[in-house]
Amino acid sequence: MSATERPGDRGIAVLASRIGADEKRLFDAFDRRGVPFEHVDTRRQWFPAGQHGLPWGLALNREIGQVRAEYAARCLDAAGVEVVNSPDATEVCGDKWRTTLAFLTAGVPTPRTALGLTPQATLEALDSIGYPALIKPLVGSWGRLVVPLADRATAEAVLEYVAALPGPQSHLGYVQELIDKPDRDIRVIVVGGEVLGAVYRSGEALRTNVALGGQTRPCEATAEITKLSLAAASSVGADIAGVDLIEDRDGRLLVLEVNHRVEFSGFQSALGDRVDVADHIVDHLLERAQR
């Protein structure tokens, strides 16, 4: 891109290998606004090293696969395409430990967390944190493979299984205190430094994800929720973010994670006409394109 050229002077790409309800809402928002865009299926995309002159000046990264999302963002960035969210934000949000470190650096409250570099070290970390606790995969979504650990015996059984898994990353143990909380969490959507709203999500056991059948209802975006959500999104560098918070029994708010590819169908359903997430995302992209 030349010194005088802006991202908006070329087209907008939407990276996605799976077209779900959220992507369809985004495509409709582009069409309603008369904004030209191109859907780029990352399963068919390849990049020669040193490539420049791509037809897009800006890309919205909606790729569901974390590894493809990271590498697509890096390839496009190297080719001079501005990517939302940025490659750095995509990588930090996709790794729970790096997200935790970003929260701590920014002073964002989060549950006590530790990383064991081997299963045995993880067991010692759990002894320090105390039970009950959780063990989570470093990379993952929808609450998959999050296991509650009631006591040391349970932890030993789980970590024996972990030790038998292939690959060095599988042996790392991301563990966290289990917060005694109401049967719900809070999802906040942030776009371009603005909180669009908040919803409560409730479901069975630990997992409240809408994709797994969780239910949503409106939640007041209080000053504290707004402040924490903006701080969390900023700490990981995410322009478009789904921030997940929980309340302990005393009402104290803690931030769990930031989703860089936020799913917003449940949020949209709960808030209805009060907010149009897809329109806000398109607004933000157009603003970025004019910089």
- The alpha carbon of 99 is separated from its chain's Cα centroid by a whole number of angstroms, namely 10
Span 164-197, pLDDT tens digits: 988 888 899 999 999 999 889 999 999 999 999 9
Q: How many domains does the chain have?
A: 3
Residue 49 within any structural domain of the chain: yes
The answer to whether position 190 is within a domain reads yes
Q: Do the domain assignments include residue 284?
A: no
Question: Pick from 157, 177, 197: which residue ends a domain?
Answer: 177
Decide if 283 is inside a domain. Answer: no
Of 231, 145, 146, 144, which Cα lies nearest the Cα of 188? 231
Domain boundary among 155, 177, 199: 177
pLDDT band at 4 (very low <50, low <70, confident <90, very high): very low
The parent domain of residue 63 ranges over 7-93
Conformational region of residue 167, where left means phi above 0, alpha means psi within -120 to 50, and beta covers everything else: left
89: domain CATH number is 3.40.50.20
Distance of alpha carbon 147 from alpha carbon 155, whole angstroms:
9
Note whether residue 100 is domain-resident.
no
Amino acid at 204: E
Q: What is the mean pLDDT of residues 67-89?
A: 97
Same domain for 164 and 200: no
Taking the C-alpha atoms of residue 77 and residue 74, their distance in angstroms, rounded to an integer, is 5
203 — pLDDT class (breaks 50, 70, 90): confident
CATH of the domain at 155: 3.30.1490.20
Would residue 263 count as lying in a domain? yes
Q: pLDDT tens digit string along 219-278? A: 999 999 999 999 999 999 999 999 999 999 899 999 999 999 999 999 999 999 999 999
pLDDT tier, 213 (very low <50, low <70, confident <90, very high otherwise): low
Q: Is residue 42 part of a domain?
A: yes
- Per-residue pLDDT, 159: 95
Q: Which of 59, 93, 127 is the last residue of a domain?
A: 93
Looking at residue 142, its pLDDT comes to: 59
Q: What is the pLDDT of residue 3?
A: 47
Max mean pLDDT among 42-56, 132-146, 199-213 falls in 42-56
Whether the upstream peptide bond of residue 259 has omega within 30° of 0, thus cis, is no
